[in-house]
């Protein structure tokens, strides 16, 4: 199967022209366009998702973006399974951004979670109608017909008709009511739960896959933008004489600064327009730009750390309270305190931000590697003063995203420049642009305090977290991280009588955004490092202590907002499932069988995020120079029902490398408002020689509703690693990255 | 006038001789399988072969291409898939896939030099290629598998 080259593909509405049977537009009437369902969490407003042509080609629309997590394959696979289709006859068509598809922001590890039931139902409805069509043709009862890989079969007479042959007849039938459409039993699933390859696999390995970097429009010019070095700076004057002398450089243009709050708007700056990407990059080196002052020019990440830490030592906003920690602390006894710190991070997707856009006659056509094509519509229409529906955004494959590509500032730059120039423009960010002008993962300081009971377990546990919130991107001056509290902070799954979680205020001076697994990273780092400190202080085995902290299997009552906006009844916080993944990771890793110390150690952490339970054991070796290597990682995962198990393993293998990067090396620092890191020489990520050598992933078989897969592998890794380093060396690492610690 | 071979075909080029091969391939010749990642030979996404050796095309200027033979992913196998590409598919290596062409080109160059590489050989040869999705252990497994197939 090959996808069409997206850059040559027509508008989506043309795709179904050849289909005799299109399901979707007239379907799911009870939800059709109802206003009360038109919000991000409802997201069930399907329009056209499925078409079958007379030649048997089945077109399934993927409305989620593919950035490496597999959702572009997984959701169509679910449709195909319930349709009982021959997967080799399936063509996947990538949706443009359009509210008619429901929510399209591919983030929060929720593509399968949010759309599994809907996609099953679309496939099942198609199958039911094809069976009706065949039964009519043969004048037999529907119940005597069955399906087999794109055929309807009448076993008694040995007759069969292909889906292609039936498509025209099925199209004339009324769409059955949802409650009249049977879903397959799990045992009947043909593809779900089996090892299926990514739809685009062959295109990827042959270089034919089309990413945003590869999109083209006829007559396009190339642009590269010199952004203000400090957030909020504007151009006071600039000299482009030397730039314009350079070969291939056509002209320069300014891009206006955002209006507060900056949201996803461009940063402003000076764009060099050129014949090719290289010339545009070169032209920038010859620009002389004077920038004005910004209040963010004083931002210094070293000084800011002190501010965060001071705030973390003072009472903050209470986000969860159980019992009375103050009373427990007042009783005296053994008290333990610790502080943890994690720096800003850049996403550094392998494909830097890039987009092609054409403005013509009040409308914009864009091709972009975006996680959120509807945000492209919003951002571009707002900047250009046109209607949202006049922005058409095609979604290419994404060369990584990790949350960065939910923000389409570069697409708005391309659209704006195209309007000025009257021709299509491709904006290409360099790696330096990508790292310096990210929406950064937030720096964070955490303060932890516990009162220890006679059995060595805590009778009181206070945790306080402080960082500039993501909401600062959307609301000028926002200081509290209300939206991040569900990300591993207001839902501690430990069985402790007295517990309080707090959040202190912090101001943002650079753009803050979502980063793969988001606040779970530093929250899990603090919680599980502290748990390990308590275990060691009590002289207990870290894994057993973790199980004791989790306590017996139970549903943890969460008085505050259910995490992830999901119904707490559908996805309760179940400590029995958390215990199970811990027990699996312990067993598979041979925990306790090899002695710790002398530069070798095991560490463990378990964290539920995006409704998935994960336990990770990391084995480390620390040599005489303090160099850390990771021979093995064991990760046990309970993500509920799993569509593509091998992809789940791949995601968790990858998560251990992604997390090893941030645990060992990665750090963004800021001086005088400017980001100091620029490329992979000073923003370090793991390479093959420093990545975990082997990550062993164990996926729990479960009938529970599907949960997240792309992100949950990341959070438990850093604490498990640091706990292993402690076991190996006796050195406690309380700040990331580990590369800053003196281990010998 | 710069003259060279690209995937076996003779080519000439009379543009900016300082333009990196990467941008010639992508923006001038339209061979977009080779990816841009860093522009400084730090990530390996742009890896191609020059006279059979793996090079970072972002850091090879067109004047340095003169008189040499360049092979990109588009020219790596005349008939069907190269055994390394097949191994990549069987092991299901890619996630986002953006770096994988560079990884494959680097792996082919390694296997041309070392027919049966050890884990250490692989780690050494491949550590110039970043995969942000973190598919390293599958890359290592796929190289071992391709080595068996090629033997």
Q: Are A505 and A308 in contact (CB under 8 A)?
A: no
Q: Are A699 and A580 in contact (CB under 8 A)?
A: no
Whether residue A664 lies inside any domain: the answer is yes
Taking CA atoms, what residue in B is nearest to A680? B42
Based on the fold, state whether residues A247 and A369 are members of the same structural domain.
yes
pLDDT for the residue numbered A136: 97
For residues A138, A143, A144 and A147, what is the CA-based torsion angle, rounded to 10 degrees? Answer: 90
Of A180, A205, A230, the residue at which a domain comes to its end is A205
Q: Are B49 and B109 in contact (CB under 8 A)?
A: yes
Three-state DSSP string of A269-321: EEEEEECCHHHHHHHHHCCEEEECCCHHHHCCHHHHHHHHHHHHCCCCEEEEE
Q: Does the structure show a pLDDT above 50 at A7?
A: no
Interior/surface letters A157-183, b for 16+ CB within 10 angstroms, e for the rest:
eeebbbbbbbbebbbeeebeeeeebee
Percent of chain A with pLDDT over 70: 92
Based on the fold, state whether residues A130 and A257 are members of the same structural domain.
no
Nearest to B98 among A70, A399, A430 (CB): A399
Residue the block writes with tokens 């550094």: A348
pLDDT for the residue numbered A522: 98
Q: Are A101 and A61 in contact (CB under 8 A)?
A: yes
With contacts defined as CB-CB under 8 Å, which chain A residues touch B136? 657, 686-688, 691
pLDDT for the residue numbered A557: 87
Q: What confidence category does residue A40 fall into, taking pLDDT thresholds of 50, 70 and 90? A: very low
Tokens of B116: 């049966």
Count how many domains chain A has: 3
The alpha carbon of residue A66 is apart from the nearest alpha carbon of chain B, in Å, by: 7
With contacts defined as CB-CB under 8 Å, which chain B residues touch A650? 92, 95, 135, 138
Q: Is A346 helix (H, G, I), strand (E, B) or coil?
A: coil
Chain A 629-648, residues with CB within 8 Å of chain B CB atoms: 646-647
- Give the closest residue to A320 by CA, choosing from A505, A442, A462: A462
CA distance A275 to A219: 10
Chain B 84-143, residues with CB within 8 Å of chain A CB atoms: 85, 88-89, 92-101, 104, 119, 122-124, 126-140
Based on the fold, state whether residues A451 and A472 are members of the same structural domain.
yes
| pLDDT 10s digits, A377-417 | 999 999 999 999 999 999 999 999 999 999 999 999 999 99
Mean pLDDT along residues A577-587? 98
Residue B95 to residue A69, Cβ atoms within 8 A: yes
Mean pLDDT along residues A340-346? 98
Nearest to A213 among B36, B39, B129 (CB): B36
The packing angle between helices B100-113 and B119-126, to 10°, is 130
Taking CA atoms, what residue in B is nearest to A352? B37
Based on the fold, state whether residues A588 and A533 are members of the same structural domain.
yes
Q: Are A468 and A304 in contact (CB under 8 A)?
A: no
Chain B touched by A335 (CB under 8 Å): no
Taking CA atoms, what residue in B is nearest to A401? B96
Q: Does the structure show a pLDDT above 60 at A24?
A: no
| pLDDT 10s digits, A266-300 | 999 999 999 999 999 999 999 999 999 999 999 99
**Would you mind telling me the total number of residues written for chain A in this entry?**
744
The alpha carbon of residue B33 is apart from the nearest alpha carbon of chain A, in Å, by: 4
| pLDDT 10s digits, A185-219 | 999 999 999 989 999 999 999 999 999 999 999 99
| pLDDT 10s digits, A86-102 | 999 999 999 999 998 99
Based on the fold, state whether residues A33 and A94 are members of the same structural domain.
yes
**Would you mind telling me the total number of residues written for chain B in this entry?**
151
DSSP A455-502: TSSEEEEEEEEE---GGGGTSTT----GGGTTTTTS------SEEEEE
CA distance B82 to B61: 28
Please name each of the domains of chain B with its CATH number: 2-75 (3.10.20.30), 83-150 (1.10.150.120)
Nearest to A655 among B40, B74, B134 (CB): B134
CA distance B102 to A678: 22
Whether residue A434 lies inside any domain: the answer is no
Tokens of A114: 């949010």
Residue B131 to residue A657, Cβ atoms within 8 A: yes
Q: What confidence category does residue A453 fall into, taking pLDDT thresholds of 50, 70 and 90? A: very high
Q: Does the structure show a pLDDT above 60 at B130?
A: yes
With contacts defined as CB-CB under 8 Å, which chain B residues touch A686? 134, 136
Chain B touched by A401 (CB under 8 Å): yes
With contacts defined as CB-CB under 8 Å, which chain B residues touch A400? 96, 98, 132-133
Mean pLDDT along residues A487-492? 96
Q: Is A503 helix (H, G, I), strand (E, B) or coil?
A: strand
The alpha carbon of residue B101 is apart from the nearest alpha carbon of chain A, in Å, by: 6
Whether residue A673 lies inside any domain: the answer is yes
Q: Does the structure show a pLDDT above 80 at A703?
A: yes
Percent of chain B with pLDDT over 70: 100
Of A174, A205, A236, the residue at which a domain comes to its end is A205
Whether residue A211 lies inside any domain: the answer is no
Residue A204 to residue B97, Cβ atoms within 8 A: yes
What ipTM was assigned to the predicted interfaces of this complex? 0.99
CA distance A64 to A101: 9
Residue A352 to residue B138, Cβ atoms within 8 A: no
Mean pLDDT along residues A34-53? 45
pLDDT for the residue numbered A560: 52
Tokens of A159: 């007759």
Based on the fold, state whether residues A418 and A360 are members of the same structural domain.
yes
pLDDT for the residue numbered A21: 63
Q: Does the structure show a pLDDT above 90 at A10?
A: no
For B66-69, which contacts have Cβ atoms below 8 Å and span 24 or more sequence positions?
B66/B2, B66/B3, B66/B4, B67/B3, B67/B4, B68/B4, B68/B5, B69/B4, B69/B5, B69/B8
CA distance A664 to A606: 19
Chain B touched by A206 (CB under 8 Å): yes
Residue B94 to residue A204, Cβ atoms within 8 A: yes
Residue A247 to residue B16, Cβ atoms within 8 A: yes
pLDDT for the residue numbered A224: 98
Based on the fold, state whether residues A285 and A364 are members of the same structural domain.
yes
With contacts defined as CB-CB under 8 Å, which chain A residues touch B42? 431, 679-681
Q: Does the structure show a pLDDT above 90 at A31?
A: no
The alpha carbon of residue A177 is apart from the nearest alpha carbon of chain B, in Å, by: 38
Q: What confidence category does residue A332 fall into, taking pLDDT thresholds of 50, 70 and 90? A: confident
Taking CA atoms, what residue in B is nearest to A276? B27
Based on the fold, state whether residues A386 and A510 are members of the same structural domain.
no
pLDDT for the residue numbered A175: 87
Based on the fold, state whether residues A223 and A125 are members of the same structural domain.
no
- Mutation target among A68, A69, A350 for the B interface, most CBs of B within 10 A: A350
Q: Are A733 and A741 in contact (CB under 8 A)?
A: yes
The alpha carbon of residue A515 is apart from the nearest alpha carbon of chain B, in Å, by: 13
Taking CA atoms, what residue in A is nearest to B81? A206
| pLDDT 10s digits, A546-571 | 999 999 999 998 865 545 455 677 89
Chain A 361-400, residues with CB within 8 Å of chain B CB atoms: 397-400
Whether residue A210 lies inside any domain: the answer is no
Of A398, A428, A458, the residue at which a domain comes to its end is A428
CA angle, residues A106, A667, A343, in degrees to nearest 5: 80
Nearest to A67 among B28, B39, B96 (CB): B96
Whether residue A1 lies inside any domain: the answer is no
Q: Indicate which CATH number applies to the domain containing A224.
A: 3.30.365.10
The helix or strand, by DSSP H or E, that contains position A124, with its residue range, turns out to be helix A111-138
Percent of chain A with pLDDT over 90: 88
Domain span holding position A664 = 301-345+439-740
Quick one: residue A304, left, alpha or beta (phi over 0 = left, psi -120 to 50 = alpha)?
alpha
Based on the fold, state whether residues A143 and A50 are members of the same structural domain.
yes
Q: Does the structure show a pLDDT above 50 at A640?
A: yes
Chain B touched by A438 (CB under 8 Å): no
Based on the fold, state whether residues A589 and A684 are members of the same structural domain.
yes
Instruction: Please name the residues in contact with A659: beta carbons below 8 A apart, sequence gap of 6 or more.
Output: A521, A713, A714, A715, A717, A718, A721
pLDDT for the residue numbered A34: 29
Residue B28 to residue A352, Cβ atoms within 8 A: no
Whether residue A475 lies inside any domain: the answer is yes
pLDDT for the residue numbered A19: 59
Q: Does the structure show a pLDDT above 50 at A38?
A: no
CA distance A670 to A297: 10
Based on the fold, state whether residues A361 and A504 are members of the same structural domain.
no
Whether residue A181 lies inside any domain: the answer is yes
Chain B touched by A208 (CB under 8 Å): yes
Mean pLDDT score across all residues of chain A: 92
With contacts defined as CB-CB under 8 Å, which chain B residues touch A401? 96
Tokens of A314: 């003072």
């Amino acid at each position: 199967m090959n996808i069409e080259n997206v850059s040559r593909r027509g508008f989506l509405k043309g795709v179904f022209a050849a289909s005799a049977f299109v399901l979707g537009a007239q379907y799911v009437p009870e939800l059709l366009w109802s206003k009360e369902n038109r919000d991000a969490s409802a997201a069930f407003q399907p329009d056209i998702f499925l078409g079958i042509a007379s030649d048997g080609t089945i077109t399934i629309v993927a409305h989620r973006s593919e950035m490496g997590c597999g959702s572009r394959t997984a959701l169509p696979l679910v449709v195909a399974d319930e349709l009982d289709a021959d997967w080799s006859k399936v063509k996947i068509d990538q949706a443009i951004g359009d509210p008619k598809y429901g929510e399209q922001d591919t983030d929060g590890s929720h593509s399968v979670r949010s759309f599994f039931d809907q996609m099953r139902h679309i496939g099942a409805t198609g199958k039911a109608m094809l069976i009706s069509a065949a039964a009519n043709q043969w004048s037999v009862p529907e119940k005597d017909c069955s399906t087999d890989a794109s055929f309807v079969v009448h076993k008694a007479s040995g007759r069969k008709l292909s889906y292609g042959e039936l498509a025209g007849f099925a199209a004339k039938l009324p769409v059955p009511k949802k409650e009249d459409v049977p879903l397959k039993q799990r045992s009947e699933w043909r593809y779900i739960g089996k090892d299926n390859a990514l739809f685009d696999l062959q295109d990827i390995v042959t270089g034919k896959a089309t990413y945003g970097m590869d999109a083209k429009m006829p007559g396009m010019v190339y642009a590269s933008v010199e952004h203000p070095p400090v957030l909020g700076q504007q151009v006071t004057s600039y000299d482009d004489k030397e730039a314009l002398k350079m070969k291939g450089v056509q002209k320069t243009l300014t891009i206006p600064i955002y209006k507060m709050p900056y949201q996803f708007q461009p940063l402003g700056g000076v764009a060099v327009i050129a014949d090719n990407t290289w010339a545009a990059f070169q032209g920038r080196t010859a620009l002389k730009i004077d920038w004005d002052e910004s209040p963010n020019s004083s931002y210094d990440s070293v000084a800011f750390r002190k501010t965060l830490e001071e705030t973390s030592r003072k009472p903050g906003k209470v986000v969860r309270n159980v019992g009375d920690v103050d009373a427990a602390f007042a009783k005296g006894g053994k008290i333990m305190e610790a502080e943890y710190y994690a720096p800003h991070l850049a996403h550094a997707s392998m494909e830097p931000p890039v987009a092609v856009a054409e403005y013509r006659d009040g409308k914009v056509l864009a091709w972009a590697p975006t996680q959120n094509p509807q945000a492209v519509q919003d951002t571009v229409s707002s900047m250009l003063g046109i209607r949202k529906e006049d922005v058409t955004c095609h979604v290419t494959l994404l060369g990584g995203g990790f949350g960065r590509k939910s923000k389409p500032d570069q697409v708005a730059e391309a659209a704006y420049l195209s309007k000025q120039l009257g021709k299509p423009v491709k904006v290409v960010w360099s790696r330096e642009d990508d790292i310096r002008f990210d929406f950064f993962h937030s720096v964070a300081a955490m303060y932890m305090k516990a009162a220890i009971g006679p059995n060595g377990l805590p009778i009181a546990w206070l945790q306080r977290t402080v960082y500039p919130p993501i909401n600062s991107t959307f609301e000028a001056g926002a200081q509290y991280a209300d939206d991040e509290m569900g990300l591993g902070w207001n839902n501690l799954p430990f069985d402790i009588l007295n517990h309080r979680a707090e959040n202190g205020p912090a101001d943002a001076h650079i753009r803050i955004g979502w980063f793969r697994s988001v606040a779970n990273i530093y929250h899990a780092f603090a919680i599980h490092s502290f748990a390990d400190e308590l275990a060691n202080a009590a002289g207990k085995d870290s894994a057993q202590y973790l199980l004791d902290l989790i306590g017996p299997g139970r549903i943890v009552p969460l008085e505050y907002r259910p995490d992830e906006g999901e119904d707490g009844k559908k996805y309760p916080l179940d400590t029995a499932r958390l215990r199970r993944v811990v027990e699996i990771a312990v067993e598979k890793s041979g925990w306790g069988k090899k002695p710790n110390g002398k530069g070798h150690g095991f560490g463990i952490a378990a964290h539920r995020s995006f409704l998935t339970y994960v336990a990770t054991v990391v084995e480390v070796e620390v040599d005489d120079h303090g160099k850390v290597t990771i021979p093995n990682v064991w990760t046990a995962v309970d993500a509920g029902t799993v569509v593509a198990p091998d992809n789940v393993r791949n995601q968790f293998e990858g998560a251990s490398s992604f997390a090893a990067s941030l645990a060992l090396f990665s750090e963004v620092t800021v001086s005088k408002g400017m980001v100091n890191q620029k490329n992979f020489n000073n923003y370090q990520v793991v390479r093959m020689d420093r990545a975990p050598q082997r990550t062993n992933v164990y996926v729990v078989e479960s009938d529970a509703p599907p949960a997240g897969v792309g992100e949950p592998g990341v959070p438990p890794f850093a604490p498990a690693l640091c706990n292993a380093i402690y076991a190996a060396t006796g050195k406690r690492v309380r700040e990331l990255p580990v590369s800053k610690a003196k281990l010998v | 006038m710069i003259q060279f071979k690209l995937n076996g075909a003779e080519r000439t080029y009379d543009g900016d001789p300082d333009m990196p091969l990467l941008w010639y391939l992508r923006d001038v010749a339209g061979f977009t399988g080779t990816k841009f990642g860093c522009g400084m030979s730090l990530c390996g996404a742009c890896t191609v072969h020059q006279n059979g050796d793996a090079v970072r095309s972002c850091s090879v200027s067109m004047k340095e291409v003169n008189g040499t033979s360049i092979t990109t992913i588009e020219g790596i196998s005349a008939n069907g898939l190269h055994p390394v590409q097949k191994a990549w598919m069987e092991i299901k290596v890619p996630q986002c896939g953006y770096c994988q062409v560079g990884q494959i080109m680097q792996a082919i160059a390694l296997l041309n030099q070392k027919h049966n590489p050890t884990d250490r050989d692989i780690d050494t040869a491949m550590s110039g290629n970043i995969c942000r999705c973190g598919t390293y252990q599958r890359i290592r497994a796929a190289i071992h598998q391709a080595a068996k197939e090629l033997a």
